[in-house]
Amino acid sequence: MVEYPLLADMAERGHEQVVFVNDAPTGLRAVIAIHSTALGPALGGVRFWTYPSEAEAVTDALRLSEAMTLKAAAAGLHQGGAKAVVLVGDPYGPHSEAMVRALGQAIDELGGRYLAAEDVGASTRDMDLMALETPWVTGVDECAGGSGDPSPLTAVGVLHAMRATMRELDGEPSLSGRSVVVQGAGHVGAALVDRLVEAGAIVTVADVERARADALAVHHGVRVVDAAAVLEQNCDVLAPCALGAVLNHETIPRLACRAVCGAANNQLARAADDDALAARGILYAPDFVANAGGIINIAEEFVGYSRARALARVAEIEHTITRVFELARARGLPPGHAAEQLARERIAREGRGRWRPGDPAAWTNGAPLRALRPAQ
């Protein structure tokens, strides 16, 4: 029997559900991938992006949703992982209200199995529009009871991960006087630069949109380098904060950093790249642990959002990264493998099977699952 490749890929990765959405009147074309609901309803961002093919969009959705499962599990959340990707011509251009609301309707049809959030190309405005159609959306404007843009909290989490990384390298967590190269000056990258400058780090930044990097140079006086040369910069920490697969068999031999700790999802092109970094003596802070600040922040919306409580929980990323490094040493593994084992062991230990809409046994963040707000 010849298997359909998508179903075979789902089976290999352990995905529960993939939904294809087409809405001709609005031009919406989207893929919603739900990887796991074993720990609770699946939480993950909506990514607006230009893909070379539909197959690559599906592959991205599958990889990103699996990473979200690991991220939620490692962060101690009662959530699974999912991702929505929307195929658009210009990822950073305006998205029509009708198209975004059509996506909200598609999310609503899943009955809470998928909880949407912001990702690349999405904005708080997009979340607000989806919230007109479904209660299962996070990151809406703070004036509407949401937590707003999760990017600043993601950056805070990465900073805590860097502190743990420096402690592992040098025995103390301070970033003062340490050289950090930030690849990507978008929402998270720019917020991370702000935090690093405050911490006294020596910061270099690059972005494919040079104007974004130049704006940070004007504001903070940080050094700007060409995006094509960013990975080869000599530094203590390289912080990938753009798209994934930046660490691969071609780039790893060129790295001139002591450690990698950034906000981008799926930084490793392959699992074997974790071993390649270790072989070069480069310490890797696993991306799905380091960048969990955003998902931790929006998960707080389920119990009544508190910025102070969110910041306290995001700060725990420093402890989690330290735990990963300790586990890696104890088991003789690279940190990425150790972090994945940590996450999957929790799912196996606490997982309750597939979550269904209305399941009274499911909870999020320790509280009963409820709609975040009534659909308008």
Q: In the annotation, is 71 catalytic? A: no
Active-site residue, from 78, 83, 313, 337: 83
Per-residue HEC secondary structure of the chain comes to: CCCCHHHHHHHHHCCCEEEEEEECCCCEEEEEEEEECCCCCEEEEEEEECCCCHHHHHHHHHHHHHHHHHHHHHCCCCCEEEEEEEECCCCCCCCCHHHHHHHHHHHHCCCCCEEEEECCCCCHHHHHHHCCCCCCECCCCHHHCCCCCCHHHHHHHHHHHHHHHHHHHHCCCCCCCCEEEEECCCHHHHHHHHHHHHCCCEEEEECCCHHHHHHHHHHHCCEECCHHHHHHCCEEEEEECCCCCCECCCCHHHCCEEEECCCCCCCECCCHHHHHHHHCCCEECCHHHHCCHHHHHHHHHHHCCCHHHHHHHHHCHHHHHHHHHHHHHHHCCCHHHHHHHHHHHHHHHHCCCCCCCCCCCCEECCEECCCCCCCC
Catalytically active residues, by annotation: 83
